[in-house]
Amino acid sequence: MEKTVYIRLRHRLQIRPNQRILLKDIAQVIADEDIYEKLCALPLYQVSEQDRNIVVIDVMKVIRTITQLFSKIEVQSIGPAQAIVEVVTKKRKVSFPLFLLVWLLLFIGAALAIMNFHEDVSMQDVQLRIYTLITGEVDSRPLIFQIPYSIGLGLGMIIFFNHVFKKRLNEEPSPLEVEMFNYQLDLDNYVALKENKESMKYLDDH
């Protein structure tokens, strides 16, 4: 009598170099207790130096490996058809001078962008006109208006990006995080199609 096994491939997996990938690493498994441990310990792939930093595991390879060892098992796949395995090497520590240089470049670039935007829309003239309309006085440096505006500009950016250094203000993702998430999805889809040899077949392939 056939037994049914349900597997769901993980979208992305991080491993160390030269590590063996087991079924429990790359997928969630639902099976009978008598075969569950054997399935979870089933080796699927051995990472080597030739794989560089990305390996794509296709669900058909997983099903083929399972059915070769367990002939009386019906495998039902749920979820994505490929799993992306990222080979993570040891990260080098970032030097403080390099961090400081990048921070200065970003700070100066952001400041120039804000100043150029204000110059393009004549923000100073607008503030002077608003100050004159409210107070009835003409002042070339209405600091009582400009200082709160500058503070509000910084607070607005903090609220928009939903971060104060590493601390989040609430659970809602920021627009930048959403864009990074969409970019990562597009990148993963590209890698899944490009690196997976089973996803494409050309005329010269045999």
Q: What is the pLDDT of residue 6?
A: 93
Beta bridge partners of 7: 29, 77
Higher pLDDT, 137 or 199: 137
Residues recorded for the chain:
206
Q: What is the per-residue pLDDT across 12-64, written as a single tens digit (0 to 9) for each?
A: 888 888 889 999 999 999 988 888 999 999 999 988 888 888 888 889 889 99
Q: What is the pLDDT of residue 80?
A: 86
Evaluate if residue 1 carries a pLDDT over 60: no
Q: Name the 3-class secondary structure at 46.
A: strand
Helices (H), 22-174: 23-26, 33-40, 59-69, 96-120, 123-135, 143-161
Q: What is the pLDDT of residue 95?
A: 84
Per-residue confidence band for 198, with pLDDT thresholds at 50, 70 and 90: low
Instruction: Return the closest-CA partner of residue 13 out of 85, 80, 88, 87.
Output: 85
Q: How far apart are CA 175 and CA 165, in angstroms?
A: 16
Q: What is the per-residue pLDDT across 116-166, written as a single tens digit (0 to 9) for each?
A: 988 888 888 888 888 888 888 888 888 888 888 888 888 888 887 777 767
Predicted TM-score (pTM) of the model is 0.65
Evaluate if residue 181 carries a pLDDT over 60: yes
Per-residue confidence band for 89, with pLDDT thresholds at 50, 70 and 90: confident
How far from the centroid of its chain's Cα atoms is residue 107's Cα? 24
Q: What is the pLDDT of residue 205?
A: 59
Q: How far apart are CA 114 and CA 121, in angstroms?
A: 11
